[in-house]
Amino acid sequence: MTKKILPIFLILASFFSVCAQKMDLPPARKLAFVQQIIEQYYVDTVNGGKIADEAIVAMLKTLDPHSTYSDPEATRALTEPLQGNFSGIGIQFNMLDDTIRVIQTVAGGPSEKVGLLAGDRILSANDTLISGVKMPQADVMKRLRGPKGSKVAIKVSRRGVAEPIDFLITRDDIPTYSVSATYMASDSIGYIKVTLFGETTPDEVKSAVAKLKKQGMRHLILDLEDNGGGYLQAATEIAGMFLEPDEMIVYTEGTHTTPMQYTNTGKRDKSIDRVVITVNQYSASASEIVSGAIQDQDRGLVVGRRTFGKGLVQRPFPFPDGSLIRLTTARYYTPSGRCIQKPYTAGDDDDYNAEILHRYLAGEFMSADSIHFDESLLRHTLKHKRPVYGGGGIMPDLFVPVDTSFYSTYYRDILAKGILHRFCNNYIDENRKMLKKEYPTENSFVKHFAVTETMMQGLINLAQKEGIAPDSAMIATSSPALKVYIKALIGRDLFEQSTYYLIANKLNPVYNEAVRLISDTAEYRKRILPDAR
């Protein structure tokens, strides 16, 4: 008994010896002592790594909502979309009714090379069932992705083929794209949708701009709605495309970091005249850097709803095991001196994360009059001295409320239960050859394809089978929107992601207001230069 207790006394003696020498024990030493005591003397066997992870999470939680820790697996999931590629089999898929369905194969990718087709159902990967077993999507991804050059054997069910088909696919680097739509909104107005700010985003945007300029673009709508951000460098490069050389884009300040100013080191693309940035309540971080710079420098107008309000800069600190700390090291400020970080209480992440809901309940999504800024945070744009505010996101130059005119509980339930997507998948499977023959190009599909009443009745029948009773009044309210989304989803499957937005944007009031504003020279000029006569 004495022999067992002796090591405890030795540890405690060492502990108190340090305390005697210096009453304030260094926090790192204290944590190390606690870890050592738990691992050696806790009543049951413990996982030291898990304890350390939990301690890190708890420490970061006392700081701010954006300082986070991720384990190796979560780190890979977070960084892959930003890095511009990963190794896998090269498909876009969805999971519906517990089934993995191929939407598209990546052009020139591993799956296309072996003959995988849109509409195929993937049954298994390396003899492991992945369809019909309620496998989480993250686990499916693990089985389809893998190191470049490794092989995966998959079994596929194909419509019209009685027996499953076997494929052996060699994984390769698969590009991921942050520009999800590029098209001409009119003869002179280009539209680019950016979903995140990754390593390849500036090059993707430049390529999209070059493509649109060949089609006659003179004005640009840059869609940053729902864009949660990404790399600061990507944001500064994209903002710089529209600004003069040496104009400020953003600057950062922190207690333990050197203040940094980011100015435009490139040349402004003078072929682009009017610029409109579209944003909403989910546009954050790098999206706010771009929209804030364009607004503060009076280079363009921001349209939509107040952005998220993230003005904190995180620096990654990786560990050898692949885990990562993203620590807030500075605040960023727009050129006019705005910090647009919304208020937070350290340790109260739940209230911080619920702030968007609070905005909704306060009526902010319906009326700009419900938004109140602290007058002490008033700043002015640099050239034309328009009033702008810090302290809680970027307030658009033109506010656009949410459109709920087509909303009904019937519409909600059809979307929530995946019935709309299932109907579209079934329709495409049954009519793919006919659709490809009748609408060989995106343009012919957009111009001539129409959702028929027979198709709508098929959707209603499918919903009824799933327990959603038809309601004539609600169907009449929601049918126009449902028809647009059906066409958009079918178009995406037949052509590309841009096709979806080209069709579905007709229902987006922010997009429609952006097109109207950028088309109206007089109103655009009046909003960006209020004293113009």
Catalytic residue among 296, 336, 397, 408: 296
- Indicate if 369 belongs to the active site: no
Sort residue 302 into left (φ over 0), alpha (ψ -120 to 50) or beta.
Answer: beta
Structure tokens of 290?
């771009």
Identify the residue whose tokens are 């793919």.
432
User: Cα separation of 512 and 130, whole Å?
Assistant: 41
DSSP 3-state of 106: coil
Does the active-site annotation cover 531? no
Write the CB contacts of 250 (distance below 8 Å, at least 6 apart in sequence). 232, 235, 236, 239, 262, 289, 292, 293, 332, 333, 334, 335
CB 181 within 8 A of CB 193: yes
Strands (DSSP E) found in 89-158 = 91-96, 99-105, 121-125, 128-129, 151-157
| C-alpha–C-alpha distance, residues 176 and 91, integer Å | 11
SS (H, E, C) 358-395: HHHHCCCCCCHHHCCCCHHHEEECCCCCCEEECCCCCC
223 an active-site residue? no
Catalytic one among 155, 193, 310, 342?
A: 310
Q: Phi first, then psi: give them for residue 468, nearest 5 degrees.
A: -100, 105
- Annotated catalytic residue within 111, 285, 287, 323: 285
Give start and end residues of each alpha helix (H) in 370-508. 409-416, 419-438, 442-448, 453-465, 472-494, 497-504
Q: CB–CB of 482/494 below 8 Å?
A: no
Active site residues: 285, 296, 310
